[in-house]
Structure formats: C-alpha cells, structure tokens
Amino acid sequence: MLTPTQKQTAQSIVNLFETGVVLGDYGSVTVIPGDTGHLTFGRSQTTLGSGNLLDLLQRYCGNHGARFGHRLERWLPRFEASDIALDSELRLHNLLRATADDPIMRETQDMFFDDVYWQPAARNAANLGITSPLGVTVVYDSTVHGSWKAIRDRTIGKAGSLSALGEKNWIKAYVNTRHAWLSTHPRSDLRKTAYRMEAFQRLIDQGYWGLELPLVIRGAEISMSSLRAIPPGCYDGPHPGTRSITLQTPLARGLDVRLLQLGMSDNGIAIKADGIFGQTSVILLKKYQASAGIPATGVAEPALITSLADQS
C-alpha cells in the first residue's frame, strides 16, 4: 500500500515522461507522426485511437458544471467515429487546451486516469507480488505507455519469476528487458522513449525503492513543494473584460488571454490558444480586427475581449 505522497510521486514521474511536467500538463494536445493513437490529450496523454479520449470527454461533458461541455459535445460524434481528421482540427485543439482552466476538467482527468491506468497497474503489481513504490511505478509507467503484459512475460521467460528472483532483482530484469525492447523497436517514436527505463535504472542504482523525496527526474524536481504547486498552464483569472490586453513585458498571461485567443480561433484565425499574449498574438489580433472592420491596433480592449469570450 503506497501512501498518498508516494502515489502522487509515482504519478508525477510518469507525468514527466508523458508531458515533461511534474503535475502533468492538463491541456497538452499532441499529435506524433506515425503514432497509431493519433490525437492525444491531457495529463497522461490519452488517445483518440484507443477510444479512451472519447471516454474522458464524455465524462467531462456529462458533468453539468463543465464550463466547455456544451461546446465539446458537438465534437463527440467524430470521436465516436474515430475520425483521424481530428488530428488537424486546430479549433478543437484550442478548445481542449482551454478546458485545462476548468477545475472540473482537471478533476475529471485525475479520476479518469486513476480508473483507467492507476488502479489496473496497482492490481497488476499486487497480483505479481510487487509492493515497493518504485516497483509499482514501473508497472504504472508500462500500463500508461503500453505492453506491460508482453514485457512481463518476456522478463519471466528470460530471467525467471519474481518469487525466484526477489522483487528488486525482478524489477531490474524487467527494466533491462523493456529498455532493450524500446531501444530496438521498429517504430522510431518508441525508440525515443527508452529514456524512461534509463530514468528508472538510475533510481534503482541509487536505491530509491521508497521514492524518498526530493527526487530529480529528467532535470525536474519532485518535492513536497512541487507536488503542492498549481498545475502549469492553468489559469483562473483575470476574468474577461477586467483589463485591456496589449504586448508588454512580462507578457500578459491568463484566462482572459486564453478566451480571447479561443474566440479568434472560432472566427477562423489560425492562433494557438495557449493563454500567452506574445508577438504572434498581436499580429493575429490585428488580422482579426481588420477582418471585423475595427481599427487594427493589436490591443484588445475589454469590450472586444468580452464579446469574443462570450462565444466560449
């Protein structure tokens, strides 16, 4: 039985592998060329191809408090049809990014990834006799990344059972077996992920079987402080219409910027709704202003922000 902190540490390690962020990038939208999962989204990168992304979005849209639920519902039939054209739908990608600002989406993702990945991994680990926090994390990583059962069976066939080797030696053998599988895989995107096993190997070499904090994984700090932080890239303010947005130093960031960008995206402007108002946002705002017949100043006044945000 892992403590809540050990569980969060295990999940943070996999978050770093998946999105490069300790707490996970709740608004991460990714399409990797050649990936059979196609469009991937969220803290632990669930995919269109697996059908799990549809499940996640249905859960979110089914919550009456979901801020963007009514807008996402329009896209659900295409998810149900596994429409891979969604890989290139910029308006959808921006909408998915914006949902990260909604606490209900973040909580839905936490519950979803716990149900779909963490609980099955914990059962698989317990069934095999794995009890150490590091050992459970290795199983969890493979459950998220894929092919846990195949590499488990390959490890048993090559090195022996866990009962014969003992947990620590078996986990070492599993990590080595999976590293060899990843590093020689015919798919180039999987070959690039062999670093996951190299990170586990370093933890094994350092004896961090209990995931004692603080840890450094791929240059990122996992500590009580980082585990209690606000997820990066998530905004709860300023609210639309409470300020003008212009190019400044430091760059304007926030919920109002995100909703301004999302509104522009819905009006045919090819902008990324990342909540950061940089030079590209200025250029594209001027383009939108010109198309709307208003002075192309590159400054978003409160009334304009409110009108575009109301569309969302």
End-to-end CA separation in angstroms for the chain: 43
Cα–Cα dist 122/125, whole Å? 5
Cis peptide bond upstream of 232, omega within 30:
no
76 and 179 belong to one structural domain? yes
3-state SS assignment for residue 41: strand
Cα–Cα dist 171/47, whole Å? 28
The domain tally of the chain equals 2
Mean pLDDT of 16-21: 91
Radius of gyration of the chain (CA): 22
41 and 94 belong to one structural domain? yes
**In this structure, is residue 14 part of a structural domain?**
yes
For residue 312, pLDDT beyond 70: no
Enter the tokens of residue 152.
């488990």
Per-residue pLDDT tens over the stretch 273-286 = 999 999 999 999 99
143 and 285 belong to one structural domain? no
For residue 293, pLDDT beyond 90: yes
For residue 270, pLDDT beyond 90: yes
9 and 45 belong to one structural domain? yes
pLDDT class for 290, splitting at 50, 70, 90? very high
Per-residue pLDDT tens over the stretch 100-146 = 999 999 999 999 999 999 999 999 999 999 999 999 999 999 999 99
285 and 143 belong to one structural domain? no
pTM: 0.84
The β-bridge partners of 253 are 276
Residue 92 structural domain: 4-227
96 and 18 belong to one structural domain? yes
47 and 101 belong to one structural domain? yes
**In this structure, is residue 157 part of a structural domain?**
yes
**In this structure, is residue 238 part of a structural domain?**
no
Quickly count: other Cβ atoms within 10 Å of residue 164's Cβ: 10
